[in-house]
Structure 1
Amino acid sequence: MPSTEVVLITGANRGLGLETARQLLKKGYVVMLSCRDSSKGAEAVRLLRQEGLDPDFVPLDISDPEQIQNVYRWISDHYGHLDVLINNAAVTSATNKTTGDRMANTILNGDIEDFKATFDINVWGTLELTRAVLPLLKKSNHGRIINLSSELGSIQLHATTTSPIYHIKKFGYSSSKTLVNLITIYLQEALKDTNISVYAVSPGWVKTEMGTAAAMLEIPEGAGIIVRAVTENMDRGSFFTHGLQEIPW
């Protein structure tokens, strides 16, 4: 039977967000795409409708409290509840002050203002949106919050691996995902007596605009783990990557 569950996906105009929307729509979910640029959102909706799918679109910059409240009111007015929140929106650099030099974006050389601005979107925007829509998620029979994270957010992997990928990547992005992981743990504890489950999901290294063409996984593969977090029963408060492998926090 097709699902009639209502899903909100942030940053869904391209890449993993758009493909996750596509896969969930094909499974019968009611999907709301959101992104900062309304024209890009409209184009994403047009592409999906050409495929016979019918998403909704709501403009949303998760760093803008007023837009967050607008989205809350829109969902409340149109559906009255929310079943799944997918916190996908994120940036690797918020101010574009960093350079193409891998070593220029580390904790010693990266721009502090860029780190702060990256946190404003990846961390505080994600948390503010989540808290705003919690009343709608509590009206679901089994609400889910899925936070898109990264293996680069794992403290244990940073501390124990010798792979340069964990030490050269941008400090602002990696540390923001570490805090997203901590938010996941805190949310699950705070919501343990409710109907809401919280997960952190790493889609792996995917060939998106952020992941680049050098990545190992195609976009549908990366989106597949997000869809499984929506559709399958997993341990609450867990951190998963593709193949449902659990990642150390």
Structure 2
Amino acid sequence: MSQKIALVTGGNKGIGFAIVRALCKELQNGIVYLTSRNEERGKDAVEELKKEGLNPHFHQLDIDSSESIDRLRDFLKSTHGGLDILVNNAAIAFKQKDTTSFDVQAKVSIATNYTATLNVCHALFPLIRSHGRVCHVASMSGPHVYKKLSPKLQEAFKHAKTEDDVNKLMADFVASAEKGTLSEEGWVQNAYGTSKAGVITITRIQAAAMSADTSRQDILINCCCPGYVDTDMTSHKGTKTPDEGAITPVYCALLPENSATPNGKHLSNKSVVETW
């Protein structure tokens, strides 16, 4: 069996760290890259896992930096000739008590959680080999927001066919937040949930596009909600441990070859959640 190359974004702590740990345990004859924006924290995380008898590798990655993404792409291409598993975990969430104005929260959340994740896909998808697996870490906050959108916006999300369609929705949300017209235009004041609604929608579109690529076979692209996990992002109020939160992302990342399904779906607790 050829060596599989896996990569996890935002892997130095929380759910990402637990995903790296699980993949190191589960991948036979594989290499798992833990990536993080901060090099020192990332290398410390790798050393922590090595103390557990695991052997992750480190590569710096700031998903908000196109130069950082390109360096990673070039490294993977020259070192391994491709990539087999990509888990897009890196994301941010503003706390409820954060005093940052909502227009800034909207702009930053969409820029990192949606646009930067998409930029990683643009760079790394050409490297994904046949039988590859992609999992975007999303959230049930996406469907939660969707249910509160205006019927017009719900239809726009439901019938989005192209990346440009979703990009426009995300841009419209940011513009509406900047104008202070969210409610009038049918949006919800929830930047994190809206960004994840974008991720869930783009997952379906990416999966369809990848399936149409006859040069590669059996590449599945899904997204998932890890659950309410005890991490910095939830101010450690989550009910799941990070290792429990990693279960569904790792399930998506390790779907057996020629599974066919799920593909383009949003999963929770290893089961498909019907969204839109």
TM-score (norm 2): 0.77
Question: How far did residue 221 of structure 1 move?
Answer: 1.0
Structure 1 partner of 2:156:
none
1:239 correspondence with 2:228: no
Aligned-partner Cα distance in 1 for 2:82–2:96? 43
Letter in 2 for 1:113: V
Aligned-partner Cα distance in 2 for 1:188–1:157? 21
Structure 1 partner of 2:170:
none
Question: How far did residue 141 of structure 1 move?
Answer: 2.3
SS in 2 for 1:190: helix
Identity of aligned residues (%): 30
Question: How far did residue 17 of structure 1 move?
Answer: 0.6
Structure 2 partner of 1:208:
231
Structure 1 partner of 2:132:
143
Q: Give per-residue Cα distances to partners, 1:99-127, cap 9 Å, x unaligned.
A: 617xx78xxxx520221011111111000
C-alpha contact (below 8 Å) 1:153/1:177 kept by paired residues = yes
Alignment RMSD (CA, Å) = 2.2
Aligned length: 228
SS in 2 for 1:154: helix
Question: How far did residue 219 of structure 1 move?
Answer: 1.3
C-alpha contact (below 8 Å) 2:16/2:89 kept by paired residues = yes
Q: Give per-residue Cα distances to partners, 1:149-195, cap 9 Å, x unaligned.
A: 000011576349xxxxxxxx971111000111111111112112233
1:182 correspondence with 2:201: yes
Aligned-partner Cα distance in 2 for 1:25–1:183? 28
Structure 2 partner of 1:113:
104
SS in 2 for 1:227: helix
Aligned-partner Cα distance in 2 for 1:170–1:77? 44
Could you list the runs of 5+ residues in structure 1 that have no partner in the other structure?
161-168
SS in 1 for 2:55: coil
Q: Give per-residue Cα distances to partners, 1:31-78, cap 9 Å, x unaligned.
A: 111111001001001001111111111111111001110000111121
1:100 to 97, 106, 111: 97
2:250 to 227, 239, 246: 227
Q: 1:52-131 residue pairs with structure 2 within 5 A?
A: 52-93=53-94, 100=97, 110-131=101-122
C-alpha contact (below 8 Å) 2:133/2:220 kept by paired residues = yes
Query: Structure 1 residues 190 and 51 mapped into 2: Cα distance closer, same or farther (>3 Å)?
Result: same
Aligned-partner Cα distance in 2 for 1:187–1:114? 26
Could you list the runs of 5+ residues in structure 2 that have no partner in the other structure?
150-187
Letter in 2 for 1:244: S
Query: Structure 1 residues 170 and 148 mapped into 2: Cα distance closer, same or farther (>3 Å)?
Result: farther
